[in-house]
Amino acid sequence: MFRKPLDLGLVVLIPVLFALAPLAYNNQLLLFNAMVFLALAQGINIIYGFTGYLPFGYVGFFGAGAYGASLTVMFLHLPAPVAVLLGGLTALALGLVLSPLLRLSGVYFAIASLAASEAVYYVIANPGLVNITKGPYGVSLDRVYSPEFSYLVMAVIVGLVTAVVVYLKRSHLGLSLKAVRDDPLSSETAGIDVKRQRMLAWSWSALFAGLTGAVFAWQISVFYPGTVFDPSISIFAIVFTLFGGAGTVLGPILGTVVLYGVYNLIGITEPQYFQLIYGVLIMVLVLFLPEGIVSLLKRGGANVL
């Protein structure tokens, strides 16, 4: 799976750095949110960077994972780590249900995924289901609240999703996914099972979004449907991926570190300046760095993973 030392180094080093970061930087919530967006950006990378499908409704899997885990804790009284796994499986099940969307492409797929996410949100927030989903009144996981433990689990998930992206980057599966992305008709003629390849990427992407949403719910313990189904979560993850460089391992990492760092430097205290700087950065990206900031490293002769 890992053909070069750099591969294993990234998979191990990134979660270890996040795990140790609270010792040097006393803002665990900020670091946790950075890991959340990093995991989501890599999840976007799996489905978009390797297959070309851009899911505007990606947050639907995140929210499904959060509620799948939360309802498991509240009604089945299972331990939080088990609930996290079930949250991931809930998102995976939703991905299988929504798999017909893969028949679409381009903007049609993007809009359809957003519509599907909104539909899931309205089902969860429906006051008529208050006895099941708690409707618009939100859920509470105070009984299993453990910010330190959930933080470490999030670091592990970051390592796992990074490992999957490294595998796709190095393996024949990743090459075949890119072939399907660039020319599905020729790929099918060459003997590649296009539908199966797309479903694999879609399933991995949904699973990691669900696991991330489940750990997020565990970390904050109290939240409302609008919190975990906020469309801006998808937008941020997509922008981080594109800014860094889709289809690479380092791209989403760099994009998340740079843009989330900028957001926390000026976005909270000076939102008006943040919007301006954010807009300028995106315009520069589109005009001069369409392959993301990793393209600067490639121009410098670096062998970017």
The per-residue pLDDT for range 197-221, each reduced to its tens digit, is 899 999 999 999 999 999 999 999 9
Other C-beta atoms closer than 10 Å to the C-beta of 264 total: 15
Q: What is the pLDDT of residues 223-236, one digit of tens each?
A: 999 999 999 999 99
Q: What is the pLDDT of residue 6?
A: 61
Which residues, in sequence order, are bridge partners of residue 223?
Answer: 139
Strands 222-223 and 139-140: antiparallel
pLDDT (average), residues 32-51: 96
Q: What is the pLDDT of residue 270?
A: 73
DSSP H stretches of helix in 183-230: 184-189, 194-220, 225-228
Q: What backbone torsions phi and psi does residue 139 show, to the nearest 5 degrees? A: -125, 160
Closest C-alpha to 113, from 28, 223, 105: 105
**3-state SS assignment for residue 239:** helix
Residue whose structure tokens are 């959340």? 36
What is d(CA 24, CA 32) in angstroms, rounded to the nearest whole number? 14
